[in-house]
Structure 1
Amino acid sequence: MKRSYFLILSLFITVNLVAQITISNNDMPSANDIYHMSITTNLQGNDPVLTGINYLWDYSQLQANIQRSDTFVTVTSTPFAYQFYFNNILLYPTHKASYAIKGNDINFQVVSMTDLFDFYKNATSQYANVGFGANINGVPSSTRRIPVDVQYVFPLNYNNNNISYSEFLVSIPTIGDYGQSQERIDTVDGWGSVITPLGTFNCLRVKSILNITDTLYTSQFGIGLSFPRPQQIEYKWVAIGSGVPVLKITTAVGGSQIEYQDNLMVGINDNILPIYHFKAFPNPAKESILIDFQSLKKEQITINLKDINGKIVKQIYNGNIEKGNNHIFLSLSEFSNGIYFLEMRINNHTKTEKLIIAR
């Protein structure tokens, strides 16, 4: 019902009738809402940095390469083991979730998090990701974010600013611990109208700077490793009643992902390279690196490390990857100082990342 009302409203909005809006928790999703999201990695020449007051963002030329349908489900419809923290208002009131949505799997060589659901709490004062449930190496479990990841503070208006910090830690049986810390710096840096292939919407533009660090501790060797990721920036265009952003652009070293609300389509041309945000960090590196990338779908890939002359010095990975976030750890102890290139090959396409080893 909310989505139908939102689409009807959008038909009456024109560039000449734009007024600054305020977003509240009533404009966030509700349980059982379904959103069809078109996804591409081609900005069509647009610069997401551009913004302003009473601004017109024209993304009408975006062309979808793949599409997904997001359904916000009730907490009680998720696996029972996932609900431990998110359906208990007496013991865990901060983490009592409003609903959940299927998230991206996380694959970290010895750590596999599949069938992942992100849990969200929609309160009058803020909208936050409170944690997730997943099968971790085949064992269903529930993991809280402490503190929670606050994504919006209400009421949301132009020039609002907010900084939040969140982290989680997952215990991996017989292996150790995997964790992640995140700093989110939010600014509502514009308002006006955004044009997407779905229509024209009166909106606020929210810029989020994300500083994320992954940590991995192996109990067998008693070694802890920390991997600060390159900074990631999200640009979100949020409209009254839109639920999720009508347009979201995520940029980082290695490329951009653009997703926008759309009508359900069939026969989308997905003849594109489905890998984005392919990067290695730290870079320059001394002892080890984390190779990080995201995939729009399950694929077969090969990753090689080449020297400055183009000679393969090591095949790092050859096999299937899962849809979602993928991480590969590589020790550099066997390599000399110098310039190298990480090369990913997939479906006759190649992506390359320069790597410097300097001790």
Structure 2
Amino acid sequence: MRHCYAGFFALLLTATTFSVKAQTPIIIDRNDMPNTGDSLRTSETLTLTGTALTQTGANQTWNYSGLRPVNQSVAYYSGVSSTPGVLPIVFGVLGGMNRATIANRQPLPAVLVEAGIPITEVYSFFNESATTYRQVGYGADIPSIGALPVFYQSQALQDVLYRFPLVYQQRDSSNSDFSVNVPGTAFLREKQKRVNNADGWGTLTTPFGTFEALRVVSTLQVRDSVSLQGQPGAAVQRPVMKQYKWLAKNQGIPLLQVITQLVSGQEIVSLVQYRDIYRRQPVLSTQAQLPETAVAIYPTPVGTSESLRLTLPASGPVALTATDLAGRVLFNYTIPNASREATVPAAAFGAFRGVAMLRVQTETGVVVRRIVRQ
């Protein structure tokens, strides 16, 4: 009998040990960031369903298993040496404070689309170290000019996404400042303040699976200065943006990221992204499929120097995704508060010519339209 009790207590001690381990917050470090060669797929939607964003603290359970995507994209991470033009030199081993360890080709940022800067490709360059994961610059591919590097004003003014080790209740901040000048076309300067707060840990569930996660909320205050064709520029203070990010071990990018904007005193969800498997596009959305006549698109065909204009079924948030017939994404463009009419600048398509499919996601439903660009 004594041996039975001893075995019982040993089993109880083992169970207690596992229970304590399961309730220990994870620690995020450099090894949990992207690696060269990673192809990380995300699903995207404009509607957040599940646990309220206000739920935070220790040992939480966040359930977002009901998320339904309307679009998917893949983030490709490469070595610096595989980027075009002079970029491997200025961001490579000779880059000094701008040296990067990894690069990511991205769709055009909204500010560049809105400014109409003639850029066909954008690369983001990052430096991963034992202490930080920071963005050290951009590379822009511009017709007739070639690859143009874009640097931050100094190393102290680079955008520090995370500081390691990243642990629960950690708070940090960074200020960043960069500018890009395309002679005779446009000048853009962006100043940003980022404040990170690791405000929760626990178990996260999405359609991708269930994981132990650390939640980090990044609050961004951004001010843009844009000058076109040599004219006096205008400074624009963007709405305060928050990025709610759930990080896990060995995942590269957040398992879930919810982006919000503060509009008229209200926090509005503008985009939801989460790690996912490949899903066929026709079954991505449970929202109504709108008839083609719900969205008017003109001119058609559209010239390479012309903006594309849309008449929408209702005001509100709109997500636009253009793909070629092979399924390659030309751009993702989100308008948090669109009116009944919207404009997509010609620069969004870059140098693309031919037939493209434009997916228009509104609060009332989804419509896919065929576009000819010549």
Superposed pair shares fold, TM > 0.5: yes
Give the AA of the match of 2:271: Q
CA distance in 1, matches of 2:59, 2:187: 47
**Is the strand fraction higher in 1 or 2?**
1
Q: Which residue of 2 aligns with 1:335?
A: none
Overall identity of the aligned pairs, in %: 28
Secondary structure of 1:108 counterpart: helix
Q: CA deviation at 1:126?
A: 0.2
Aligned to 1:237, which of 246, 251, 258?
246
Aligned to 1:267, which of 281, 291, 303?
281
Q: CA deviation at 1:263?
A: 1.3
8 Å CA contact 1:295–1:322 kept in 2: the answer is no
CA distance in 1, matches of 2:362, 2:132: 43
TM-score (norm 1): 0.71
Q: Which residue of 2 aligns with 1:97?
A: 100
Secondary structure of 2:277 counterpart: coil
Matched, 1:173 2:183: yes
Q: Which residue of 2 aligns with 1:86?
A: 91
Give the AA of the match of 1:121: N
Distance 1:43 1:153, change over 3 A: same
Q: Which residue of 2 aligns with 1:228?
A: 237
TM-score (norm 2): 0.68
Q: CA deviation at 1:195?
A: 0.6
CA distance in 1, matches of 2:270, 2:333: 21
* Deviation by residue 1:109-168 (Cα, 9 ceiling, x = unmatched): 441332111111100110011111112465321111232110000010011111101111
8 Å CA contact 2:219–2:242 kept in 1: the answer is yes
Consecutive unaligned residues of structure 2, counting only runs of 5 or more, are 1-17, 290-316, 323-330, 351-358, 365-374
**Count of equivalent residues:** 288
Q: CA deviation at 1:299?
A: 9.2
Distance 1:348 1:129, change over 3 A: closer
Secondary structure of 2:86 counterpart: helix
CA distance in 1, matches of 2:89, 2:233: 28
CA distance in 1, matches of 2:92, 2:165: 26
Give the AA of the match of 2:117: V
Consecutive unaligned residues of structure 1, counting only runs of 5 or more, are 1-12, 274-291, 307-311, 325-345, 352-359
Aligned to 1:204, which of 214, 220, 245?
214
CA distance in 1, matches of 2:256, 2:20: 17
Matches within 5 A, 1:1-359: 17-89=22-94, 92-105=95-108, 106-136=112-142, 139=145, 140-146=147-153, 147-218=157-228, 220-221=230-231, 223-252=232-261, 253=263, 255-269=269-283, 295-297=320-322, 317=343, 322=348
8 Å CA contact 2:199–2:216 kept in 1: the answer is yes
Aligned residues: CA RMSD: 3.4
**Is the helix fraction higher in 1 or 2?**
2
Distance 1:84 1:215, change over 3 A: farther
8 Å CA contact 1:301–1:319 kept in 2: the answer is no
CA distance in 1, matches of 2:318, 2:39: 27
